[in-house]
A and B are shown apart, each in its own frame.
Chain A
Amino acid sequence: MKALFFILIFIALIVACWQFVKLLGLTKVQNSTATEKENNINGWLLLGLMVFIYGLMLTSMFRGRSVLLPRLSASLEGYHIDNLFIITMCLIFTVQFITQFLIFYYSFKYRGINDRKAIFFADSSKLEAIWTIIPAIVLTLLIGYGLWTWNEVMDSSNAKDPLVVEVYAKQYKWEARYAGADKTLGQGNVNYIKDLNTMGVNMEDAYAKDDVPTTVLYLPKGRKVVFNFRSQDVIHSAYMPHFRAQMNCVPGMITHFAFTPAVTTEEMRKNDDIITKVNNINILRKEKGAEPYEFDYLLLCNKICGSSHYNMQMKVVVVEEAAFNTWLASQKTMAQLLN
């Protein structure tokens, strides 16, 4: 019934709106096309719109700066991505500034005046060649650099002694498993899921026994980490924004991604961008009486996976390699866990 009420309000608003127009006498027969006065008003307003768009761009860039991810990439591979990103963004902003200026300035400058005659200018192969060839050259360079970066990031075939980790996704939880002393993960399949063996590890497989399960993802600084991703139910996506890393977890197959953590959690907490961001967050949290927040790296789900998709996360901790080895040694292996 209430819904009906709201719909009635909606219709009433439409009617009110029309009555208002009638009251102002605006429904009288008008010039069908825009008058000089209207062109003038709209021309100036278009110029105002340009200022509004530029204003939005500048405020978002400067005032919005503090909400962004820290400029410092937490992985070595992320540096390449960040460089490419900065170059691309500079290009985009330049083109955006120029083209928006042209659109609104021309719309303003050539707003209709009764006696003015538009020029008849239908074609110019020279101009069109210019704006075909220049974008083509710029894009070729961008594609070249982009593909080089993509190869740098995706190719982990020549990593020396990488740490092999399996990240395992399920509705709405992350788990992980280190390869252990033999540096090889034991096989996994959904058929082996039973009781504590939540990741479905085949315990018959000799490689599986020394695997180390965890629910907090510890990573060593400076050592390449090769991730194998699996999912047991629907598609999830392992997104680690601070490391510029993301890969889908697809049921029925194993996907891969690799990066080298470059900044420990402690170091990142001392980063200027993070300090500003955390301070801003804590001011807001204090207002609503929530616990103060301390920065941690995160792995979050970034592919719609069901009703609790919004809360599927795992803490990621980067420590020095020695500390990592100590931590790993203190954890139970699969064999120990299941016995």
Chain B
Amino acid sequence: MSEHHHKETFVTKFIFSQDHKMISKQFLITGMIMGTIALFMSMLFRLQLSFPDTSFSIIEAFLGKGQDGGIMTPDTYMSLVTIHGTIMVFFVLTAGLSGTFSNLLIPFQIGARDMASGFMNMISYWLFFISSVIMVISLFIQTGPASGGWTIYPPLSALPQAMSGSGLGMTLWLVSMALFIASSLIGALNYIVTVLNLRTLGMKMIRLPLTIWAFFVTAIIGVVSFPVLLSAALLLIFDRSFGTSFYLSDIFIQGEVLHYQGGSPILFEHLFWFLGHPEVYIVILPAMGIVSEVMATNARKPIFGYRAMIGSIIAIAFLSTVVWGHHMFVTGMNPFLGSVFTFTTLLIAIPSAVKAFNWITTLWKGNLQLNTAMLFSIGFVSTFITGGLTGIVLGDSALDINVHDTYFVVAHFHLVMGVSAIFGMFAGIYHWFPKMYGRMMNKDLGYLHFWLTCISAYGVFFPMHFIGLAGLPRRYYTNTAFPIFDDLLHINHVMTIFALIGGLAQILFFANFFFSMKKGPKAPQNPWHSNSLEWTTPIEHIHGNWPGELPTVHRWAYDYSKTDENGELYNGQDFTPQIVPPRAGEEML
């Protein structure tokens, strides 16, 4: 088919590409750039938190002369945490993670030549790109970017009088997010259609690798919940620009009474969290899928409880849409509603526990190949459990009263969805790098990267629980205004040191990534001895993925170390790819 195919120019191949492999790389690189910006911001505000009155020339260099001789201003601090959160949650962990791996793996692993609509796929990327550009531009305007927290609760975000970031910065934030939502909806619809319609012969739903199940369900959650955020944002735009009162009522600010009557900020909170909570599963489910796949491959064992894993993905997805109120226990919402949300929230612990135990059992009696991707997967399970367990505290309305909006929450979600999802993403990058670029990444740099990252992640976020239990609220520019928090200084120092080490350790990753892309050793076709279909395609990317016929699938993706009745490995190797037909009398799962 390649000879008959139209000639690719530079523009159609690298820029306006409709090929899922190229689009996936575009998502990854854009996500990495955005991630670097957000990570760097976090290092700057960690400096501020530990050394509140110290002048740093790096702060002045990046944040401008307005910073009072190298000491960050409160407004700058607020905008840094806001944009750090927004970029990490949406641009890195939604688009960067889901966009990269859904695009790369869905056609590859289901045996399709490309996405259902290559054109829509391209539009999805370019909307994401424009939205990223607008978000970055908002960092450079005079009044500063949005600074009301990534949750942008009105009235703070609705009234330019309330803080300087609520002016043009907030408008750009909303425009950027509207484009982002459009991008993610177009992408999600494409993923759903592709998984449902373009599976190759024999690829039943029940034979799909768990990655695809995770991407598929993630896309469904996205389609259900993202439009709600879009409407919330639209109503906020109306309140901000056209004088409506959806979210605003009875406001007196800067010496004058505003005209708004009858709106309720609580409405915004409901709409926001109707997306906001499913969003954390949009972030974590793809990481779970990646980890399941990487872990089974490198344990040389089938993933334990494949059907239970699918069941728990679906259960989590369903429950994720009925728990949003646990972000609102102390907003003045009716306490009865709080009871309902406590109940549904704690139920999520059950499918999550099933997944965690299934991963642990997958490790049991395996022959673990502890390469970088596997290390990140093990790290994922560890941080997911550490962070997830404190969810039992936060999801319980009575306990939430005293830890709501403290650093305890910050520690919880950074471990359970921040660090975990990033670990899932790293596992995916190290595992599928050979598929993306046809070359191997350097192992030693990879190991060093993992060890520094994992230890610093724990070093930053584990002690953070305790400053939260000391009652320290999040989003405080400094805690020097309260002598009662003075003794947290040492813990803050420890956290900042780990944060700086962890941040700088990412240099190893970038070095490894970009140089391996050009200079890394050539990859073999199936470097990890994996079963799934993507490793049956040629190393050099071709249009349409497989040179001849599409492969036919005969089994699930997890026949690792399967033996026949005599206890002998099939074909003398410990993996049986999906394209291998069953032997006579073979028991199929």
Given contacts A69-B469, A309-B476, A107 and B331 within 8 Å (CB-CB): no
Q: Please, how many angstroms separate the alpha-carbon atoms of A67 and B487 in the complex?
A: 6
Other CB < 8 Å A-B pairs besides A14-B511, A33-B528, 10 of them?
A32-B527, A64-B463, A67-B466, A78-B402, A96-B389, A112-B300, A122-B304, A122-B306, A232-B251, A239-B471
Does B370 count as interface, using CB distance less than 8 angstroms? yes
Q: Which residue of A lies closest to B161 (CB)?
A: A233
Does A117 count as interface, using CB distance less than 8 angstroms? yes
Given A57, A100, A251, A308, which contacts B155 in the complex, CB threshold below 8 Å?
A251
Number of interface residues of A (CB under 8 A): 134
Chain A residues with CB under 8 Å of B73's CB are 307
Q: Choose, from A177-185, A210-218, A292-300, A317-325, the stretch at the interface.
A: A292-300
> For residues 58 through 78 of chain A, which have their beta carbon under 8 Å from a beta carbon of chain B?
60, 64, 66-69, 78
Does A123 count as interface, using CB distance less than 8 angstroms? yes
Whether the Cβ atoms of B477 and A27 lie closer than 8 Å is: no
Whether the Cβ atoms of A56 and B487 lie closer than 8 Å is: no
Q: Please, how many angstroms separate the alpha-carbon atoms of A191 and B250 in the complex?
A: 8
Whether the Cβ atoms of B471 and A69 lie closer than 8 Å is: yes
Chain A residues with CB under 8 Å of B398's CB are 80-81, 84, 146-147, 149-150, 153
Given A46, A131, A303, which contacts B357 in the complex, CB threshold below 8 Å?
A131
Q: Please, how many angstroms separate the alpha-carbon atoms of A297 and B560 in the complex?
A: 61
Given contacts A56-B462, A246-B402, A313-B481, A252 and B250 within 8 Å (CB-CB): yes
Whether the Cβ atoms of B443 and A30 lie closer than 8 Å is: yes
Whether the Cβ atoms of A102 and B360 lie closer than 8 Å is: yes
Whether the Cβ atoms of B385 and A100 lie closer than 8 Å is: yes
Q: Which residue of B lies closest to A57 (CB)?
A: B462
Q: Please, how many angstroms separate the alpha-carbon atoms of A124 and B396 in the complex?
A: 32
Closest 7 CB pairs of A and B: A252-B249, A255-B332, A241-B471, A2-B61, A42-B370, A190-B252, A311-B481
Whether the Cβ atoms of A117 and B515 lie closer than 8 Å is: no
Chain B residues with CB under 8 Å of A196's CB are none
Whether the Cβ atoms of A14 and B514 lie closer than 8 Å is: yes
Whether the Cβ atoms of B392 and A313 lie closer than 8 Å is: no
Does A206 count as interface, using CB distance less than 8 angstroms? no
Chain A residues with CB under 8 Å of B491's CB are 64, 67
Q: Which residue of A lies closest to B252 (CB)?
A: A190
Chain A residues with CB under 8 Å of B487's CB are 66-67, 277, 280-281, 284
Whether the Cβ atoms of A153 and B463 lie closer than 8 Å is: no
Residues 273-294 of A, flagged 1 when their CB comes within 8 A of B and 0 if not, give 0000100110011000010010
Q: Which residue of A lies closest to B302 (CB)?
A: A122
Whether the Cβ atoms of A135 and B353 lie closer than 8 Å is: yes
Chain B residues with CB under 8 Å of A88's CB are 392-393, 396, 399
Given A10, A143, A280, A305, which contacts B507 in the complex, CB threshold below 8 Å?
A10
Whether the Cβ atoms of B473 and A60 lie closer than 8 Å is: no
Does B243 count as interface, using CB distance less than 8 angstroms? no
Shortest A76–chain B CB gap in Å is 14
Give 20 A-B contacts (CB < 8 Å), ordered by A residue.
A13-B507, A14-B514, A38-B371, A43-B368, A68-B466, A69-B469, A88-B392, A92-B389, A99-B360, A99-B385, A121-B361, A132-B353, A135-B354, A136-B350, A143-B346, A146-B342, A146-B399, A235-B155, A302-B473, A310-B479
Shortest A126–chain B CB gap in Å is 11
Chain A residues with CB under 8 Å of B369's CB are 33-34, 39, 112
> For residues 237 through 257 of chain A, which have their beta carbon under 8 Å from a beta carbon of chain B?
237, 239, 241-242, 244-248, 250-253, 255-256
Q: Please, how many angstroms separate the alpha-carbon atoms of A28 and B443 in the complex?
A: 11
Q: Choose, from B172-180, B186-194, B261-269, the stretch at the interface.
A: B261-269
Chain A residues with CB under 8 Å of B234's CB are none
Given A155, A246, A251, A306, which contacts B265 in the complex, CB threshold below 8 Å?
A251
Shortest B54–chain A CB gap in Å is 12
Q: Which residue of B lies closest to A30 (CB)?
A: B443
Does A128 count as interface, using CB distance less than 8 angstroms? yes
Q: Which residue of A lies closest to B382 (CB)?
A: A103
Given contacts A45-B451, A143-B346, A190-B250, A118 and B305 within 8 Å (CB-CB): no
Whether the Cβ atoms of A252 and B264 lie closer than 8 Å is: yes
Chain B residues with CB under 8 Å of A13's CB are 504, 507
Work out how many contacts link A and B, with CB atoms closer than 8 A: 417
Shortest B81–chain A CB gap in Å is 9
Whether the Cβ atoms of B473 and A300 lie closer than 8 Å is: yes
Chain A residues with CB under 8 Å of B382's CB are 49, 53, 100, 103-104
Whether the Cβ atoms of B473 and A154 lie closer than 8 Å is: no
> For residues 352 through 382 of chain B, which have their beta carbon under 8 Å from a beta carbon of chain A?
353-354, 356-358, 360-361, 363-371, 374-375, 378, 381-382
Candidate in B251, B405, B484 with the most chain A CB atoms within 10 angstroms: B484
Shortest A224–chain B CB gap in Å is 17
Size category of the binding interface on chain B: 35 or more
Shortest A14–chain B CB gap in Å is 4
Q: Please, how many angstroms separate the alpha-carbon atoms of A101 and B336 in the complex?
A: 39
Does A271 count as interface, using CB distance less than 8 angstroms? no
Whether the Cβ atoms of A103 and B360 lie closer than 8 Å is: yes
Chain A residues with CB under 8 Å of B367's CB are 110, 112-113, 116-118
Candidate in A64, A84, A88, A191 with the most chain B CB atoms within 10 angstroms: A64
Whether the Cβ atoms of B511 and A18 lie closer than 8 Å is: yes
Q: Please, how many angstroms separate the alpha-carbon atoms of A189 and B250 in the complex?
A: 7
Does B397 count as interface, using CB distance less than 8 angstroms? yes
> For residues 12 through 58 of chain A, which have their beta carbon under 8 Å from a beta carbon of chain B?
13-15, 17-18, 21, 24, 26-30, 32-34, 38-39, 42-43, 45-46, 49, 52-53, 56-57
Whether the Cβ atoms of A310 and B481 lie closer than 8 Å is: yes
Given B61, B331, B473, B558, which contacts A3 in the complex, CB threshold below 8 Å?
B61
Given contacts A117-B561, A143-B346, A311-B481, A150 and B451 within 8 Å (CB-CB): no
Does B319 count as interface, using CB distance less than 8 angstroms? no
Given B164, B465, B477, which contacts A60 in the complex, CB threshold below 8 Å?
B465
Whether the Cβ atoms of A89 and B61 lie closer than 8 Å is: no
Chain B residues with CB under 8 Å of A49's CB are 382, 454-455
Chain A residues with CB under 8 Å of B349's CB are 135, 139
Q: Please, how many angstroms separate the alpha-carbon atoms of A271 and B300 in the complex?
A: 57
Given contacts A49-B454, A103-B360, A60 and B466 within 8 Å (CB-CB): yes
Whether the Cβ atoms of B589 and A122 lie closer than 8 Å is: yes
Q: Please, how many angstroms separate the alpha-carbon atoms of A103 and B354 in the complex?
A: 14
Chain B residues with CB under 8 Å of A284's CB are 486-487, 489
Does B136 count as interface, using CB distance less than 8 angstroms? no
Does B253 count as interface, using CB distance less than 8 angstroms? yes
Whether the Cβ atoms of B385 and A251 lie closer than 8 Å is: no
Chain B residues with CB under 8 Å of A327's CB are none
Whether the Cβ atoms of A96 and B330 lie closer than 8 Å is: no
> For residues 127 through 182 of chain A, which have their beta carbon under 8 Å from a beta carbon of chain B?
127-128, 131-132, 135-136, 139, 142-143, 146-147, 149-151, 153-155, 170-171
Q: Choose, from B112-120, B275-283, B516-524, the stretch at the interface.
A: B516-524
Chain A residues with CB under 8 Å of B558's CB are 122
Chain B residues with CB under 8 Å of A18's CB are 511, 515
Q: Please, how many angstroms separate the alpha-carbon atoms of A199 and B561 in the complex?
A: 73
Whether the Cβ atoms of B466 and A81 lie closer than 8 Å is: no
Chain B residues with CB under 8 Å of A246's CB are 330, 401-402, 404-405
Chain A residues with CB under 8 Å of B149's CB are 304
Does B582 count as interface, using CB distance less than 8 angstroms? no
Q: Please, how many angstroms separate the alpha-carbon atoms of A25 and B230 in the complex?
A: 52
Given contacts A38-B447, A110-B367, A293-B483, A233 and B148 within 8 Å (CB-CB): no
